[in-house]
Amino acid sequence: MTTILIRGASLAGGGTTDLLVEDCAIAERGTGLSRAGARVIEAAGLIALPGLVDLHTHLREPGFEQSETVITGTRAAAAGGFTAVHAMANTSPVQDTAGVVEQVASLGAQFGYATVRPIGAVTVGLEGSRLAEIGAMSRSRAAVRVFSDDGKCVHDALLMRRALEYVATFDGVIAQHAQEPRLTEGAQMNEGALSSTLGLAGWPAVAEEAIIARDVLLADAVGARLHVCHVSTAGSVEVIRWAKGRGIEVTAEVTPHHLLLTEDLIASGDGGVYSSGYDARFKVNPPLRRDEDVRALRAALADGTIDIVATDHAPHPTETKECAWQEASFGMVGLESALPVVQATMVDTGLLDWADVARVLSRVPAEIGRLPGYDAPFEPGSPAHLALVDPAASRVFGIDSLRGKGVNSPFLGRELPGRVVATIHGGVPTVLDGELQPPDEVARA
């Protein structure tokens, strides 16, 4: 195991420090540290963040390896400063048994770029008719604590109540994809004047808001934890704010793309070389909304109504995105661009500081997922999960910025701030000088 000495890093909460990393952990923290033979990283001007944690990643393996694999997805994660990802259950076979979640977790451990925590399905086959093996997955070696049918809504109220009751017995959480299916049949984009102009079936905001309203009441009734995936509307924010005001145990996430992009891009593109109208890189579930929704989401993240940022990293083969809008797949890749977009929308605008970024992209996602090792970053003895970020850097985000299989990023051609200079996962450098380290070196360590 390599000994690493990080010199002069700026802490998110203020001040500078040296960090000595040894045997997978933070060995010392202070100024003027030295260690013979240590690999030295000069970090003056860099911000030391605890390793980022994504609560919403689609790694696609098993079953959809043409889109992503565990190794390619975790390499993308490392490039973005992430040291842990929670892998959604919509694989093939679906992650609805102990055997499948253990397989996914072991693949992450084998490659070493990031910790992979599988998310278990709520229902068998994501079909919404009967509960999956929730208890068995929670007791498995994968120790699943988050359950979701993401991509589909658990729309049956009785089934949702039973799932909430079940996870409450072991402090699990249901992560709901809030989408009332009857209200969104055939929907292609946000419902409004623009959808009518473009001739695309509208996706009403109330389809999201109604499910959230139902589910916070169910969670309250049974005393369970509820997490709301990819909140996208101002109305959803108000429902969640009301529920938190009543003391209901609900948490919520927003994606980077919903913090920046609006439905207008569907009509006109972003004016860059990568985009024109009806560009399916902007097709996502839930859809891009109005500017007033974006403003409400930013304000909600700033005031704590929305707890975390999660990427909803959703890679697809090129042929399923470079096609007619109505036929294209929903989804965007987001691991490599998440931190720059959060810096652009929340830090550079003064809505959050870097300590807040550590909270919404590391500590609280880990808390929600019951992932240990992220509650006391940089304290001696704590696991060495961290990212070093240059906030003064900027770059035009291009295909060469992507490290996974998917290139369906909505940010191609945009100038984004910040650069991940180094990522360290459990004491092992996965990124140095902005470059991924070779797989054999990461796995061997």
The residues annotated with a catalytic role in the active site are: 312
β-pairing verdict for 82-87 and 52-57: parallel
**DSSP strand E in 153-221: where?**
173-176, 189-190, 202-203
No. of helices (H) and no. of strands (E), the chain: 14, 19
> 349-384: buried (b, 16+ CB within 10 Å) or exposed (e) per residue?
eebbebebbbbbbbbbbbbbbbbebbeebbeeebbb
Distance CA 406, CA 418 (A): 22
**Beta strands, E only, 46-168:** 47-50, 52-57, 82-87, 115-118, 146-147
Length of the chain: 445
By C-alpha distance, which of 256, 357, 287, 263 is closest to 13? 357
Residue 199 neighbours by CB under 8 Å, 6+ apart: none
- How many CB atoms neighbour CB 246 within 10 A? 10
**How far, in Å, CA of 79 to CA of 113, rounded?**
9
